[in-house]
Amino acid sequence: MGFPKLKVLLAGAVFFTGACSFDEDLWPSLNASDPAGQPTAEAAQPAAAAQSADAGNQTAAPAPSPADLGNQPALGQTSFVPAGVTPGDATGTFVGKKVQELRGELQKLQSSILQHNEQLQGLRSRIVESSQQYHGTIAAVKSRLQVGTTRGNPVLVQQFNTAQQDLNRLSQDIGEMNKLSTGVSSDSTLASFLTESVRAAFKVSGAVDEDHRQLAILEDEVDQTVVLIDRLHREVTEDVRRQSSWIGAEQRNLVQISAGIRQGESLGSSLLDAAVTGRGPGANQVASPADTAGRRPLVVIRFDRPNVPYQQALYTAVSRALETHPTAVFDLVAVAPSAGGSARVAINTNKAKRHAEDVKRSLVEMGLPPTRVAVSSKTLAAAKTNEVHLYVR
Protein backbone atom coordinates (compact mmCIF):
# COMPACT_ATOMS: atom_id res chain seq x y z
CA MET A 1 0.00 0.00 0.00
CA GLY A 2 1.48 3.28 -1.01
CA PHE A 3 1.40 6.43 1.09
CA PRO A 4 1.71 10.09 0.06
CA LYS A 5 4.84 11.90 1.15
CA LEU A 6 5.00 12.81 4.81
CA LYS A 7 5.35 16.49 4.10
CA VAL A 8 1.76 16.65 2.86
CA LEU A 9 -0.55 18.21 5.47
CA LEU A 10 -3.77 16.36 6.12
CA ALA A 11 -6.77 18.66 6.59
CA GLY A 12 -9.28 18.07 9.33
CA ALA A 13 -9.17 16.43 12.72
CA VAL A 14 -7.05 13.38 13.42
CA PHE A 15 -8.81 10.23 14.58
CA PHE A 16 -6.79 7.41 16.09
CA THR A 17 -7.67 3.76 16.44
CA GLY A 18 -8.08 2.21 19.86
CA ALA A 19 -4.56 0.83 19.63
CA CYS A 20 -2.89 4.22 19.18
CA SER A 21 -2.67 7.48 21.14
CA PHE A 22 -0.66 10.67 20.84
CA ASP A 23 -0.15 14.09 22.33
CA GLU A 24 -0.49 17.07 19.97
CA ASP A 25 1.30 19.38 22.42
CA LEU A 26 4.62 17.66 21.79
CA TRP A 27 5.26 19.08 18.34
CA PRO A 28 8.19 21.51 18.52
CA SER A 29 8.10 24.77 16.56
CA LEU A 30 11.53 25.29 15.04
CA ASN A 31 12.19 26.87 11.66
CA ALA A 32 13.94 24.76 9.05
CA SER A 33 13.67 23.85 5.40
CA ASP A 34 11.07 21.32 4.32
CA PRO A 35 12.49 17.83 3.75
CA ALA A 36 12.91 17.06 0.10
CA GLY A 37 10.60 14.49 -1.42
CA GLN A 38 11.91 11.49 -3.26
CA PRO A 39 10.59 11.43 -6.83
CA THR A 40 10.22 8.21 -8.76
CA ALA A 41 11.39 7.33 -12.21
CA GLU A 42 10.54 4.54 -14.60
CA ALA A 43 13.34 2.43 -16.01
CA ALA A 44 14.11 3.27 -19.63
CA GLN A 45 15.83 1.16 -22.25
CA PRO A 46 18.62 2.66 -24.37
CA ALA A 47 17.83 3.41 -27.99
CA ALA A 48 18.24 0.64 -30.54
CA ALA A 49 21.82 0.39 -31.76
CA ALA A 50 23.52 -0.77 -34.93
CA GLN A 51 23.42 -4.50 -35.68
CA SER A 52 27.20 -4.97 -35.56
CA ALA A 53 30.09 -3.44 -33.64
CA ASP A 54 33.77 -3.04 -34.22
CA ALA A 55 35.84 -5.60 -32.34
CA GLY A 56 37.87 -2.69 -30.98
CA ASN A 57 34.79 -1.52 -29.10
CA GLN A 58 34.67 -4.67 -26.95
CA THR A 59 35.16 -3.91 -23.24
CA ALA A 60 35.96 -6.67 -20.77
CA ALA A 61 33.94 -6.48 -17.58
CA PRO A 62 36.40 -5.67 -14.78
CA ALA A 63 36.04 -7.00 -11.28
CA PRO A 64 33.83 -4.63 -9.28
CA SER A 65 35.78 -2.30 -7.02
CA PRO A 66 34.90 -1.72 -3.35
CA ALA A 67 33.42 1.62 -4.40
CA ASP A 68 31.11 -0.17 -6.85
CA LEU A 69 29.96 -2.59 -4.16
CA GLY A 70 29.89 -0.07 -1.33
CA ASN A 71 26.32 1.15 -1.89
CA GLN A 72 24.77 -2.32 -1.79
CA PRO A 73 23.75 -3.34 1.74
CA ALA A 74 25.46 -6.44 3.07
CA LEU A 75 23.34 -9.52 3.61
CA GLY A 76 23.05 -11.12 7.01
CA GLN A 77 25.48 -13.96 7.62
CA THR A 78 23.87 -15.84 10.50
CA SER A 79 23.21 -19.56 10.14
CA PHE A 80 20.14 -20.53 12.15
CA VAL A 81 20.58 -24.07 13.47
CA PRO A 82 18.47 -25.27 16.44
CA ALA A 83 20.27 -26.91 19.35
CA GLY A 84 18.12 -30.05 19.11
CA VAL A 85 15.64 -31.78 21.40
CA THR A 86 16.65 -33.67 24.54
CA PRO A 87 15.24 -37.24 24.56
CA GLY A 88 13.31 -38.56 27.56
CA ASP A 89 12.10 -41.88 28.91
CA ALA A 90 8.42 -42.81 28.94
CA THR A 91 6.83 -42.56 32.39
CA GLY A 92 3.53 -44.25 31.60
CA THR A 93 1.45 -41.32 32.82
CA PHE A 94 -0.94 -39.19 30.79
CA VAL A 95 1.36 -36.20 31.23
CA GLY A 96 4.33 -38.32 30.16
CA LYS A 97 2.55 -39.20 26.91
CA LYS A 98 1.77 -35.51 26.38
CA VAL A 99 5.46 -34.67 26.87
CA GLN A 100 6.38 -37.18 24.16
CA GLU A 101 3.82 -35.65 21.78
CA LEU A 102 5.09 -32.12 22.43
CA ARG A 103 8.67 -33.28 22.00
CA GLY A 104 7.76 -34.68 18.59
CA GLU A 105 6.10 -31.40 17.61
CA LEU A 106 9.21 -29.49 18.63
CA GLN A 107 11.36 -31.81 16.51
CA LYS A 108 9.11 -31.13 13.50
CA LEU A 109 9.36 -27.39 14.17
CA GLN A 110 13.15 -27.51 14.35
CA SER A 111 13.25 -29.52 11.11
CA SER A 112 11.24 -26.75 9.47
CA ILE A 113 13.70 -24.17 10.79
CA LEU A 114 16.61 -26.16 9.36
CA GLN A 115 14.85 -26.28 5.99
CA HIS A 116 14.21 -22.55 6.03
CA ASN A 117 17.81 -21.90 7.03
CA GLU A 118 19.00 -24.01 4.08
CA GLN A 119 16.75 -22.03 1.73
CA LEU A 120 18.04 -18.76 3.18
CA GLN A 121 21.70 -19.67 2.72
CA GLY A 122 21.02 -20.79 -0.87
CA LEU A 123 19.24 -17.54 -1.68
CA ARG A 124 22.06 -15.52 -0.17
CA SER A 125 24.62 -17.36 -2.31
CA ARG A 126 22.61 -16.68 -5.47
CA ILE A 127 22.16 -13.03 -4.55
CA VAL A 128 25.90 -12.61 -3.99
CA GLU A 129 26.68 -14.24 -7.35
CA SER A 130 24.16 -12.13 -9.27
CA SER A 131 25.35 -8.99 -7.47
CA GLN A 132 28.96 -9.58 -8.48
CA GLN A 133 27.93 -10.09 -12.10
CA TYR A 134 25.78 -6.97 -12.03
CA HIS A 135 28.44 -4.75 -10.48
CA GLY A 136 31.09 -6.03 -12.89
CA THR A 137 28.93 -5.29 -15.93
CA ILE A 138 27.90 -1.85 -14.68
CA ALA A 139 31.54 -1.01 -13.90
CA ALA A 140 32.49 -1.85 -17.49
CA VAL A 141 29.71 0.33 -18.90
CA LYS A 142 30.56 3.29 -16.66
CA SER A 143 34.25 2.99 -17.45
CA ARG A 144 33.58 3.13 -21.19
CA LEU A 145 31.17 6.05 -20.87
CA GLN A 146 33.71 8.06 -18.89
CA VAL A 147 36.23 7.98 -21.76
CA GLY A 148 33.52 8.49 -24.37
CA THR A 149 32.19 6.24 -27.13
CA THR A 150 29.79 6.25 -30.07
CA ARG A 151 26.16 7.04 -29.51
CA GLY A 152 24.06 3.94 -28.92
CA ASN A 153 27.16 1.72 -28.89
CA PRO A 154 25.73 -1.82 -29.44
CA VAL A 155 28.35 -3.34 -27.13
CA LEU A 156 27.18 -1.12 -24.28
CA VAL A 157 23.55 -1.81 -25.21
CA GLN A 158 24.21 -5.53 -24.84
CA GLN A 159 26.01 -5.02 -21.53
CA PHE A 160 23.17 -2.81 -20.32
CA ASN A 161 20.63 -5.52 -21.13
CA THR A 162 22.77 -8.08 -19.32
CA ALA A 163 22.91 -5.85 -16.25
CA GLN A 164 19.14 -5.48 -16.31
CA GLN A 165 18.75 -9.26 -16.43
CA ASP A 166 21.08 -9.61 -13.43
CA LEU A 167 19.08 -7.00 -11.52
CA ASN A 168 15.83 -8.78 -12.41
CA ARG A 169 17.26 -12.04 -11.05
CA LEU A 170 18.18 -10.22 -7.86
CA SER A 171 14.65 -8.90 -7.58
CA GLN A 172 13.23 -12.40 -8.07
CA ASP A 173 15.53 -13.82 -5.38
CA ILE A 174 14.44 -11.10 -2.97
CA GLY A 175 10.85 -12.06 -3.77
CA GLU A 176 11.67 -15.66 -2.84
CA MET A 177 13.23 -14.41 0.37
CA ASN A 178 10.03 -12.55 1.14
CA LYS A 179 8.09 -15.80 0.69
CA LEU A 180 10.56 -17.44 3.05
CA SER A 181 9.72 -14.77 5.62
CA THR A 182 6.08 -15.87 5.42
CA GLY A 183 7.10 -19.46 6.10
CA VAL A 184 9.10 -18.37 9.12
CA SER A 185 6.03 -16.54 10.42
CA SER A 186 4.15 -19.86 10.29
CA ASP A 187 6.92 -21.42 12.37
CA SER A 188 6.48 -18.61 14.88
CA THR A 189 2.77 -19.40 15.19
CA LEU A 190 3.49 -23.07 15.88
CA ALA A 191 6.17 -22.12 18.40
CA SER A 192 3.68 -19.96 20.31
CA PHE A 193 1.26 -22.89 20.39
CA LEU A 194 3.97 -25.17 21.76
CA THR A 195 4.83 -22.64 24.44
CA GLU A 196 1.26 -22.49 25.69
CA SER A 197 0.84 -26.28 25.46
CA VAL A 198 3.93 -26.94 27.58
CA ARG A 199 2.75 -24.49 30.24
CA ALA A 200 -0.70 -26.06 30.27
CA ALA A 201 0.83 -29.52 30.77
CA PHE A 202 2.32 -28.39 34.09
CA LYS A 203 -1.21 -27.86 35.43
CA VAL A 204 -2.50 -31.34 34.58
CA SER A 205 -2.86 -33.60 37.62
CA GLY A 206 -1.52 -37.12 37.82
CA ALA A 207 2.07 -36.28 36.86
CA VAL A 208 5.17 -37.73 38.52
CA ASP A 209 8.34 -35.79 39.29
CA GLU A 210 10.03 -37.13 36.15
CA ASP A 211 7.21 -35.68 34.02
CA HIS A 212 7.80 -32.19 35.42
CA ARG A 213 11.57 -32.55 35.04
CA GLN A 214 11.16 -33.42 31.36
CA LEU A 215 8.60 -30.64 30.93
CA ALA A 216 11.04 -28.09 32.38
CA ILE A 217 13.72 -29.18 29.90
CA LEU A 218 11.21 -29.10 27.05
CA GLU A 219 9.98 -25.63 28.06
CA ASP A 220 13.52 -24.28 28.01
CA GLU A 221 14.17 -25.78 24.55
CA VAL A 222 10.89 -24.39 23.21
CA ASP A 223 11.81 -20.92 24.52
CA GLN A 224 15.24 -21.17 22.86
CA THR A 225 13.55 -22.16 19.61
CA VAL A 226 11.16 -19.20 19.84
CA VAL A 227 14.10 -16.81 20.23
CA LEU A 228 15.86 -18.46 17.25
CA ILE A 229 12.76 -18.07 15.08
CA ASP A 230 12.42 -14.40 16.05
CA ARG A 231 16.06 -13.78 15.10
CA LEU A 232 15.60 -15.63 11.79
CA HIS A 233 12.46 -13.69 10.94
CA ARG A 234 14.05 -10.36 11.86
CA GLU A 235 17.19 -10.99 9.80
CA VAL A 236 15.26 -12.22 6.74
CA THR A 237 12.89 -9.25 6.93
CA GLU A 238 15.81 -6.84 7.23
CA ASP A 239 17.56 -8.43 4.24
CA VAL A 240 14.39 -8.07 2.16
CA ARG A 241 13.87 -4.44 3.17
CA ARG A 242 17.45 -3.31 2.59
CA GLN A 243 17.95 -5.17 -0.68
CA SER A 244 14.56 -4.07 -2.05
CA SER A 245 15.45 -0.46 -1.32
CA TRP A 246 18.83 -0.87 -3.02
CA ILE A 247 17.28 -2.54 -6.09
CA GLY A 248 14.86 0.37 -6.41
CA ALA A 249 17.77 2.81 -6.32
CA GLU A 250 19.68 0.78 -8.93
CA GLN A 251 16.66 0.75 -11.23
CA ARG A 252 16.73 4.54 -11.11
CA ASN A 253 20.49 4.46 -11.67
CA LEU A 254 19.97 2.42 -14.84
CA VAL A 255 17.83 5.24 -16.21
CA GLN A 256 20.85 7.56 -15.95
CA ILE A 257 23.15 4.97 -17.55
CA SER A 258 20.64 4.41 -20.35
CA ALA A 259 20.68 8.13 -21.14
CA GLY A 260 24.49 8.08 -21.11
CA ILE A 261 24.58 5.21 -23.62
CA ARG A 262 22.27 7.13 -25.94
CA GLN A 263 24.62 10.12 -25.73
CA GLY A 264 27.84 8.11 -25.82
CA GLU A 265 29.22 9.71 -22.66
CA SER A 266 28.69 9.77 -18.91
CA LEU A 267 26.14 12.31 -17.75
CA GLY A 268 27.51 12.43 -14.20
CA SER A 269 25.65 11.65 -11.00
CA SER A 270 21.89 11.35 -11.01
CA LEU A 271 19.88 14.52 -10.36
CA LEU A 272 17.55 12.34 -8.32
CA ASP A 273 20.42 11.49 -5.96
CA ALA A 274 21.17 15.20 -5.58
CA ALA A 275 17.53 15.93 -4.79
CA VAL A 276 17.40 13.21 -2.16
CA THR A 277 20.76 13.77 -0.44
CA GLY A 278 21.35 17.49 -0.97
CA ARG A 279 19.29 18.81 1.92
CA GLY A 280 21.97 20.67 3.75
CA PRO A 281 24.69 19.77 6.29
CA GLY A 282 24.06 16.68 8.36
CA ALA A 283 21.19 15.46 6.17
CA ASN A 284 22.78 12.02 5.82
CA GLN A 285 23.76 11.57 9.47
CA VAL A 286 21.99 8.65 11.10
CA ALA A 287 19.92 9.54 14.17
CA SER A 288 21.16 8.04 17.44
CA PRO A 289 18.75 6.91 20.19
CA ALA A 290 18.06 9.57 22.83
CA ASP A 291 16.90 9.29 26.42
CA THR A 292 13.10 9.24 26.49
CA ALA A 293 12.72 9.33 30.29
CA GLY A 294 10.17 11.95 31.31
CA ARG A 295 9.03 12.54 27.73
CA ARG A 296 5.50 11.87 26.54
CA PRO A 297 5.23 9.82 23.35
CA LEU A 298 3.73 11.25 20.19
CA VAL A 299 2.18 7.87 19.37
CA VAL A 300 1.65 4.70 21.41
CA ILE A 301 0.83 1.52 19.48
CA ARG A 302 -0.32 -1.44 21.56
CA PHE A 303 0.04 -4.80 19.83
CA ASP A 304 -2.65 -6.53 21.88
CA ARG A 305 -4.19 -8.28 18.86
CA PRO A 306 -3.09 -9.37 15.38
CA ASN A 307 -2.92 -6.84 12.54
CA VAL A 308 -3.29 -3.63 14.54
CA PRO A 309 -4.35 -0.91 12.02
CA TYR A 310 -1.92 1.78 13.13
CA GLN A 311 -0.68 3.10 9.77
CA GLN A 312 -3.20 5.89 9.16
CA ALA A 313 -2.96 7.22 12.71
CA LEU A 314 0.83 7.06 12.54
CA TYR A 315 0.90 8.91 9.23
CA THR A 316 -1.40 11.65 10.50
CA ALA A 317 0.63 12.29 13.65
CA VAL A 318 4.02 12.27 11.93
CA SER A 319 2.88 14.43 9.01
CA ARG A 320 1.54 17.09 11.38
CA ALA A 321 4.75 16.95 13.42
CA LEU A 322 6.80 17.50 10.26
CA GLU A 323 4.62 20.43 9.25
CA THR A 324 5.65 22.13 12.48
CA HIS A 325 9.24 20.88 12.53
CA PRO A 326 10.43 19.75 9.06
CA THR A 327 13.81 18.53 10.34
CA ALA A 328 12.35 16.54 13.24
CA VAL A 329 14.03 13.32 14.33
CA PHE A 330 12.00 10.49 15.81
CA ASP A 331 12.77 7.98 18.56
CA LEU A 332 11.06 4.63 18.06
CA VAL A 333 11.10 2.59 21.28
CA ALA A 334 10.14 -1.09 21.51
CA VAL A 335 8.49 -1.60 24.90
CA ALA A 336 8.07 -5.06 26.44
CA PRO A 337 6.41 -6.00 29.76
CA SER A 338 8.93 -6.66 32.51
CA ALA A 339 6.67 -9.23 34.21
CA GLY A 340 7.52 -12.93 33.96
CA GLY A 341 10.76 -14.87 34.00
CA SER A 342 13.87 -13.96 32.06
CA ALA A 343 12.95 -16.26 29.17
CA ARG A 344 9.50 -14.67 28.83
CA VAL A 345 10.97 -11.15 29.00
CA ALA A 346 13.51 -12.09 26.30
CA ILE A 347 10.75 -13.42 24.04
CA ASN A 348 8.57 -10.33 24.55
CA THR A 349 11.55 -8.05 23.96
CA ASN A 350 12.28 -9.75 20.64
CA LYS A 351 8.63 -9.47 19.60
CA ALA A 352 8.51 -5.79 20.57
CA LYS A 353 11.69 -5.13 18.58
CA ARG A 354 10.15 -6.83 15.58
CA HIS A 355 7.04 -4.65 15.90
CA ALA A 356 9.29 -1.57 16.10
CA GLU A 357 11.07 -2.60 12.90
CA ASP A 358 7.68 -3.04 11.21
CA VAL A 359 6.65 0.46 12.31
CA LYS A 360 9.94 1.90 11.05
CA ARG A 361 9.43 0.16 7.73
CA SER A 362 5.97 1.73 7.50
CA LEU A 363 7.49 5.16 8.16
CA VAL A 364 10.06 4.63 5.41
CA GLU A 365 7.32 3.54 3.00
CA MET A 366 5.48 6.75 3.85
CA GLY A 367 8.53 8.72 2.75
CA LEU A 368 10.37 9.41 6.00
CA PRO A 369 14.16 8.96 5.54
CA PRO A 370 15.36 6.03 7.66
CA THR A 371 18.16 8.25 9.01
CA ARG A 372 15.48 10.29 10.79
CA VAL A 373 14.41 7.34 12.98
CA ALA A 374 16.41 6.00 15.94
CA VAL A 375 15.27 2.61 17.24
CA SER A 376 15.82 1.40 20.81
CA SER A 377 14.11 -0.91 23.30
CA LYS A 378 13.24 -1.12 26.98
CA THR A 379 11.07 -3.05 29.44
CA LEU A 380 8.29 -1.41 31.41
CA ALA A 381 6.46 -2.71 34.47
CA ALA A 382 3.30 -0.80 33.54
CA ALA A 383 3.13 -2.41 30.10
CA LYS A 384 0.56 -5.21 29.84
CA THR A 385 1.42 -6.15 26.27
CA ASN A 386 4.10 -5.38 23.69
CA GLU A 387 4.03 -1.74 22.63
CA VAL A 388 5.88 0.68 20.34
CA HIS A 389 6.30 4.31 21.44
CA LEU A 390 7.18 7.09 18.99
CA TYR A 391 8.79 10.28 20.32
CA VAL A 392 9.62 13.44 18.37
CA ARG A 393 12.61 15.69 18.98
User: 350 pLDDT exceeds 80?
Assistant: yes
253 and 313 part of one domain: no
Q: What is the pLDDT of residue 318?
A: 87
- Predicted confidence band at 32 (pLDDT cuts at 50, 70, 90)? very low
Q: Which of 38-42, 102-106, 268-272, 364-368 has the highest mean pLDDT?
A: 102-106
181 and 164 part of one domain: yes
272 and 393 part of one domain: no
pLDDT in tens, 84-108: 899 988 888 999 999 999 999 999 9
Least confident of 13-22, 74-83, 140-149: 13-22
User: 3 pLDDT exceeds 60?
Assistant: no
167 and 50 part of one domain: yes
207 and 118 part of one domain: yes
Residue that finishes a domain, picked among 277, 297, 324:
277
| Mean pLDDT along residues 43-62 | 38
**Residue 119 backbone dihedrals phi, psi, to 5 degrees:** -65, -40
Higher pLDDT pick, 187 / 35: 187
Residue that finishes a domain, picked among 247, 277, 307:
277
Asked whether the whole model's pTM tops 0.85, one would answer: no
Mean residue pLDDT across the chain: 78
CATH number where 7 lies: 3.30.1330
Count structural domains, the chain. 2
User: 272 pLDDT exceeds 70?
Assistant: no
20 and 53 part of one domain: no
257 and 333 part of one domain: no
Domain that holds residue 63: 40-277
45 and 28 part of one domain: no
Q: What is the pLDDT of residue 286?
A: 62
97 and 193 part of one domain: yes
Higher pLDDT pick, 373 / 285: 373
| Mean pLDDT along residues 361-370 | 79
- Predicted confidence band at 129 (pLDDT cuts at 50, 70, 90)? very high
Q: What is the pLDDT of residue 285?
A: 55
Least confident of 38-52, 76-90, 154-168, 288-302: 38-52
3-state per-residue secondary structure call for the chain: CCCCCCCCCCCCCCCCCCCEECCHHHCCCCCCCCCCCCCCCCCCCCCCCCCCCCHHHCCCCCCCCHHHHCCCCCCCCCCCCCCCCCCCCCCCCHHHHHHHHHHHHHHHHHHHHHHHHHHHHHHHHHHHHHHHHHHHHHHHHHHHHHHCCCCCCHHHHHHHHHHHHHHHHHHHHHHHHHHHHHHHHHHHHHHHHHHHHHHHHHCCCCCCHHHHHHHHHHHHHHHHHHHHHHHHHHHHHHHHHHHHHHHHHHHHHHHHHHHHHHHCCCCCCCHHHHHHHCCCCCCCCCCCCCCCCCCCCCEEEECCCCCCCCHHHHHHHHHHHHHHCCCCCEEEEEEEECCCCHHHHHHHHHHHHHHHHHHHHHHHHHCCCHHHEEEEEEEECCCCCCEEEEEEC
Least confident of 18-32, 139-153, 165-179, 254-268: 18-32
Q: What is the pLDDT of residue 268?
A: 54
Q: What is the pLDDT of residue 30?
A: 24
131 and 16 part of one domain: no
Least confident of 66-80, 144-158, 163-177, 340-354: 66-80
